[in-house]
Structure 1
Amino acid sequence: MAEPSENGPFLLPHDALEHLSPSEFRVARPPATVTCAVATPFGACIPNVFDWSPGDALLFANPSTPQTEAVFWVQRALGFAFEQAIWTHAAVLDATLRVWDAMPGKHVCVCSLAETLSERRQLVSVRRVKGKAVDPDALQESLELFSGNQYRIFNISTANLLLNRLGGRSPIYAERPDDTQVICSSFVQKVLVRSLQMPLVKDQFIPVPADLFAHADFFGVPAYWCRAV
């Protein structure tokens, strides 16, 4: 999977930073609360989290695994372009820079942004809902409400909805998925819909990660590494 050579508009995996030159980094003085610095040959670097907001969706272009390859090709079959289909996982950021997502075997889980960036080593895109800011308290309530949801992609309901999309048929209301079962992108959708009290990606009962990248309800937020001073 190709990665851009410049430091932006997507956040490069931190282990790729050693291939950049010092001139490709911006300089920032991080707030004391920002604890997601990583060591590089040029000193400590941080992502530009001061430009990010609670409720921002984080999309990941994962290294090739059988599961991410399957998501990529399903999204391509749904008509997404390559640069949209590479985003195969979705998460949401809370007010304290924690990352919430639904994952196979873990269901809904939460970890620090530093842990996410250091463990996953993936290209990251930051997307934000257009037209309305997310209230941090409403966001936290929604995250906790849906924290008991289970990750379920290989079930009849999810499979039927994806097959309907592949076949170009709109699902009927009765085919909506079980409200306690999610995939990563539908978890993000549910949290943001409840937090904002507005529909998002409303034309799809079960959005895929590429929807959150390409849909008109979202826009891109700059994501880059800075040299901390």
Structure 2
Amino acid sequence: MLTKASIVDIHRIVETPLAKFEGDLGKDHCLLDIEYREVVFDFGSVVPGSIILTRNNISAVPKFQTLVTRASEARRWSHVAIMGNGGQVWDIMPNKHVRTQTFDQFLKDVDSFAIRRLRLPVDSDVLEGSLHKFSKAKYSVMGAVELATLRKKGVPVENLPPEELVCSTFVNRVLFDALDTEVIEMNVPIIWPSHFAESSLFEDVDLSDCFFFLANNEVASQDIQPSA
């Protein structure tokens, strides 16, 4: 289960004193505009292969997850994405299909998020190849149901059709292709975001000291306290 320091409520950042940030942003930092307040986020620890769990106003996914799993994280998360090379976030969405965004662009429509780092070594070039391999996939709930049916029949993951996926099956297929191993240990016909929150092959990334105000902000230095 994710720890308190691993979960960030975006809107509570503006109410919390943060450490000052000085110097150039560099490639491992991005500038977030959160309710008219500029905040620097250090994503240096978000290495390629890390997964990003998010919650927004799509309430149907958490509600449905509670019907198919008793996982303690089922009610919290509605989406999962994966970090590629160069700070690019990859995911698949209804009507948008597979997309890539910078980290700050990805967080614009997010209410809360958590990051989990893969415990297994992954070659970033191999991962990038796997991401591009599935980049033409289409978002389809019915396609995900078909995948579940095939899985119940014992069809191996590598033999499943790659054309129609949802967010969690997209991330799972990419990682399986890059690692040649299952990252979700549970024997389930379809993968949901909550399964990534519970998998022991990922470790939580502590985000409690990843947020800063710009140096000209006169707020006393103090770590962020993420939401429960």
TM > 0.5 fold call:
yes
1:218 is displaced (CA, Å) by 2.0
| Pair 1:129–1:41, CA change in 2 (3 A) | closer
1:172 aligned onto 2:153: yes
Deviation at 1:92, TM superposition (A): 0.4
| Unaligned ranges ≥5, structure 2 | 216-228
Secondary structure in 2 matching 1:188: helix
CA spacing shift, 1:159–1:197, aligned 2, 3 Å? closer
Number of the residue aligned with 2:94 = 104
CA distance in 2, matches of 1:205, 1:92: 21
Aligned to 1:206: 190
**Counterpart-to-counterpart distance in 1, 2:112 and 2:37:** 21
Q: Which residue of 1 aligns with 2:133?
A: 145
State the TM-score, normalized to the length of structure 2: 0.78
Equivalent-residue separation in structure 2 for 1:76 and 1:41 (angstroms): 32
CA change 1:174–1:12 in 2 (3 A) is same
Superposition CA RMSD, Å: 2.9
Find out whether 1:121 has 2:110 as its counterpart.
yes
Answer yes or no: is the 8 Å Cα contact 2:73–2:194 preserved in 1. no
Aligned to 1:226: 211
2:170 aligned with 1:184: no
- SS of the residue corresponding to residue 114 of structure 1 reads helix
Q: CA deviation at 1:16?
A: 3.1
Distance 1:133 1:28, change over 3 A: farther
Structure 1 segments (4+ residues) deviating >6 Å = 40-43
Give 1:36 deviation, angstroms: 1.8
Letter in 2 for 1:159: V
Between the aligned residues of both structures, percent identity stands at 22
Q: Which runs of 5+ in 1 are unaligned?
A: 165-169
| Contact 2:79 2:193 (C-alpha < 8 Å) held by counterparts | yes
SS in 2 for 1:37: strand
Residue among 78, 81, 86 paired with 1:91: 81
Q: Which residue of 1 aligns with 2:14?
A: 18
- TM (norm. structure 1) is 0.77
Specify whether residues 223 and 152 from structure 1 end up closer, same or farther in structure 2 by C-alpha distance, changes over 3 A only.
same
